[in-house]
Every structure is written in structure tokens, then in C-alpha cells.
Amino acid sequence: MSVKITYFVHSITKDNEAKLSTGWIPGELSEKGIERSFALRDLINIDDFDLVITSDLKRAIDSSNNTFGNSKEMKRDSRIRECNYGDLDGKSSELVVYEDHIYEPFPNGESLKDVEKRMRDFCNYLIENYDGKHIAIVAHKAPQFAFQVITQGKTWEQAIDEDWRKTNSWQPGWNYIIENTKY
């Protein structure tokens, strides 16, 4: 049993451009983000996917709608939301230091281990319901790190250190395999 995931991070938001960390705030795609989410269609083969699952936050939903339109069944799932930065939602990105919140929650928010817990639950859901399927996921930074921790055996420190945002190595999707293991 296995499920193939192709993970897409939502497109550029107005907050990204303003160097703000959106967290659980819905977020609005910027003009550049809208253009890029439509352009992603030309970089992928939509027919490769059986289903699209998106975070329930507006920026991910809008990115998903722009890229996939009505071409695929689409579901929303709150488990793949961004990390809740609590008091830092909407504040300067410089204040949101992932390395300091792997185990300790952001003030009035959650830790990265909390994100990992909900992502493990999500992985179990995928295995139980979508064996043999190829699923497009449209979500956020912390859940992508969690996929690396869960499916590739990376530590949180490794996932953070190897972040594609630090190396400017964006790509039109990252592949992960959820296998028949209880997460």
C-alpha cells in the first residue's frame, strides 16, 4: 500500500512580498502569485493526479483553484494548514524562527512537533483512503517540512536547514511516498 504525493506550496502572497508571516491568517495572493499559480498549469501534467487536497486557508485554496481549476476533485483539509504562529501571525517574518519552535510552541500558537502530529494523522488518512493514488497537495512551508520528517526520516533541523527557499531552488512540485506504515 502506498500513496504518491506531489506537494505544491501555495503561490506568492501579499504578506510574502511584505515579509510578513501569515500563519493561520487566510492570506491573499499577490498579482505575481496569481500569475504564477496560473502559469504552474503549464509546468505540470494535471492528468497525473487523481485528486487535489488543499489547506483550508484562502491562499492555498486560491492557488489550487488557479492551477487545477475544475479539472480534478478537490478537497480541503485543515490538518495541512501552516503552523500557527500565534501572537506572531501577521508579524515580521524575521520574528518567526522555526529552529526555536521545534518543541516549544510559538506564543499562543503551536510547535513544529504539533504540525508533525497533525501531518502524521493526515498521512494515516491518506493510506486508509487513497491507496495506489497520486494526490496533489497544495499547502504551506511547515507541512512540507513535516512530510520530509515523516517520509524521508529527516530531523526537523535538517528539513529547515535544507529548505529550498534558502537555496532558491523552487521547483513545480516535490514528490513524497506515504507507505503502508502506521504514522
The string of pLDDT tens digits covering residues 131-152 is: 999 999 999 999 999 999 999 9
Mean pLDDT across 11-32 = 97
pLDDT at 181: 73
Q: Does the pLDDT of residue 180 top 80, yes or no?
A: no
Mean pLDDT across 40-68 = 97
pLDDT at 77: 98
Which letter, b or e, does each residue of 47-72 get, where b requires 16 or more Cβ atoms within 10 Å of its Cβ? eebebbbbbbbbbbbbbbebbbeeeb
Mean pLDDT across 33-37 = 97
* Helical (H) or strand (E) element with 179: strand 174-179
pLDDT at 160: 97
pLDDT band at 49 (very low <50, low <70, confident <90, very high): very high
User: Which residue type is seen at 29?
Assistant: L
Q: Across all residues in the chain, what is the average pLDDT? A: 96
Tell which residue, 138, 137, 134, 154, has the closest CA to residue 146.
154
CA triplet 89, 110, 51: central angle to 5 degrees? Answer: 85
Polymer length of the chain = 183
Mean pLDDT across 20-34 = 97
Write out pLDDT tens, residues 73-102: 999 999 999 999 999 999 999 999 999 999
pLDDT band at 69 (very low <50, low <70, confident <90, very high): very high
**Domains defined along the chain, listed by start:** 2-179 (3.40.50.1240)
